[in-house]
Amino acid sequence: MTASGTERRPWALSGVLFVALFMAGLILSGVLGSGTYPSPFGPSAEIERYFTASRDAVRMLSFFHALAAIALVSFVAHLAAAVRRTGDETAVLSGLVLGGGALAAAFMLLSALFSWVLARPATVETPALVRAIHDLAFLTGGPGHVLWFAAFVGASSVAPLRTPILPGWIAWVGIVVAVISLLSVASLLLEPASYLLPLGRFSGFVWIFAVSVVLARGRPLEAGVRR
């Protein structure tokens, strides 16, 4: 590849697929569900009522988010490889991209599986069990997923500051997303901080979408001027 050449990477569209699958799960479960998906901080009666009346919606959510986790693994693996190819100085960063992204996907998959359990008839017949599994679905899909997502996005965004793998503006946006996602750990101590979870998650989706499009279109990698 020459200094003016590009390397097209159709695999990068797995990031777009990840965002699409995750949003499809939210939208379809919202359409099929009986009311709003309950907060883990809400009343137990409200949580039990939702999962009793919305089993199809919860199964739909679980299905699409499990698929989204697989798409995220694909995107993470290829992005880590792209970072690693930029040189030895990014070897540690590529490892953090791969490890953080893989764990973020694993926690998302765990959350999807816990959600599936919530749709089981035997589960909804036991109120205490519904509450406990709902908490686990929140912890794995909320703080557990978003914290590792912060490591993935942060490492992926630091690499472009050293090599022109991505535009500089995407790198800085990613760093902001990583900081917000990292701060969301405060939700384990303070309920109001839980609003940082969707903020970090969905701003991260915008970042992933942008990275996917840029890489799929074929941006110059090892050489060229970042702008």
pLDDT tens column, 111-147: 999 999 999 999 999 999 999 999 999 999 999 999 9
- Assess whether pLDDT exceeds 70 at residue 88: no
For residue 224, CA distances in Å to 52, 80, 138, 163 come to 57, 20, 43, 10
pLDDT category, 96, cuts 50, 70, 90?
very high
Alpha carbon distance 72, 207 (integer Å): 13
pLDDT category, 34, cuts 50, 70, 90?
confident
Alpha carbon distance 188, 208 (integer Å): 26
Q: Locate 29 and state its tokens.
A: 């479960």
pLDDT tens column, 190-221: 999 999 999 999 999 999 999 999 888 875 44
Domain ranges of the chain: 10-216
Mean pLDDT score across all residues of the chain? 88
- Assess whether pLDDT exceeds 70 at residue 226: no
